[in-house]
Amino acid sequence: MSAVTELGETSAGGGEGEITYVSYGGEHHLPLVMSLVDEELSEPYSIFTYRYFVYLWPQLTFLAFDPKDGKCVGTVVCKMGEHRGSFRGYIAMLVVLKPYRGRGIATELVTRSIRVMMESGCEEVTLEAEVTNKGALALYGRLGFIRAKRLYRYYLNGVDAFRLKLLFPRPDPSLHPMMLGNERDDQHMDSPYLFAVTLVTLLCLKVTYLTWHVFLSIHVRLMKKHVLPLHVFINWHYRMKNSNCM
């Protein structure tokens, strides 16, 4: 067994043999990533571009190997960082050799990278795909990506691209916990404590209503007899109230 297989995780490959997946392990993996991308993708990249991704975000680069001969058959290269006020992941390169396509290898590679992005706090993931690449569009569509924008003549070969986006559901921190809802809140809403608080509130409102009703009735009677004006009656009422409190 090779060193690569010992470090990786093995997963079934659609009934056609197992595939071993490993995260980027260092400089010895860089030529494998470069060879795959240069062979399969239409965009040329310099070695500095590859190093930018794998050195800063090695945990977001994964490789797929055929354990039968140790051949690297697929890779995904990603990054993540702040973008316009949000923390965003970005899938830069995804390649699977043609003889190995249709076995779920690309799905597994992308899923592994997305899982790391989500655990790292990313709020969304984006990428660009050629509008003519039906296989890639179908793959990302199954994973929940939506077509956010069409980029005209995006690639050097003149082909348009779709910008695809995957949003992670996250609660709004500005919302009150009662608005978000959870099991504890539901239990509290059904508790006897809430019923007692509601009952006491209603009783207080009723007492207040009755107090003001009596007050207004007395005032109307006094006004009819021309005994006291309103402001005199109010001052007398508060003096009496304060004296009783003392």
- The CA distance from 111 to 10, in Å, is 15
Is the same domain home to 115 and 232?
Answer: no
Question: Given this model, what pLDDT does residue 191 score?
Answer: 44
Question: Given this model, what pLDDT does residue 202 score?
Answer: 60
- The CA distance from 77 to 54, in Å, is 7
- The CA distance from 41 to 132, in Å, is 13
Structural domain ending residue among the three candidates 136, 170, 204: 170
Is the same domain home to 188 and 139?
Answer: no
Is the same domain home to 161 and 203?
Answer: no
Is the same domain home to 140 and 210?
Answer: no
Structural domain ending residue among the three candidates 134, 152, 170: 170
Is the same domain home to 136 and 195?
Answer: no
Residues in the chain, pLDDT under 70: 1-16, 170-246
Is the same domain home to 200 and 137?
Answer: no
Is the same domain home to 131 and 214?
Answer: no
Is the same domain home to 79 and 131?
Answer: yes
Structural domain ending residue among the three candidates 170, 200, 234: 170
Tally of structural domains, the chain: 2
Instruction: Name the helix (H) or strand (E) containing 182.
Output: none
With tokens 């010895």, the residue in question is 28
Question: Given this model, what pLDDT does residue 105 score?
Answer: 98
Question: Given this model, what pLDDT does residue 44 score?
Answer: 84
Is the same domain home to 12 and 104?
Answer: yes
Is the same domain home to 206 and 165?
Answer: no
Question: Given this model, what pLDDT does residue 216 score?
Answer: 62
Q: What is the CATH number of the domain that holds 72?
A: 3.40.630.30
Domain assignment of residue 87, given as a range: 3-170
Q: Name the residue type at position 34.
A: M
Question: Given this model, what pLDDT does residue 242 score?
Answer: 56
pTM over 0.85: no
Is the same domain home to 14 and 130?
Answer: yes
Q: What is the pLDDT of residues 4-39, one digit of tens each?
A: 333 355 565 544 679 999 999 999 999 999 999 998
- The rounded radius of gyration (Å) of the Cα atoms in the chain is 34
Question: Given this model, what pLDDT does residue 106 score?
Answer: 97
Classify the C-alpha dihedral 126-128-132-135 as positive or negative. Answer: negative
Contact present, 75 and 62 (Cβ < 8 Å): yes
Question: Given this model, what pLDDT does residue 167 score?
Answer: 94
Which ranges constitute the DSSP H helices of 14-128?
30-40, 47-56, 105-119
Is the same domain home to 113 and 222?
Answer: no
Which ranges constitute the DSSP H helices of the chain?
3-7, 30-40, 47-56, 105-119, 134-142, 177-180, 183-189, 192-224, 230-245
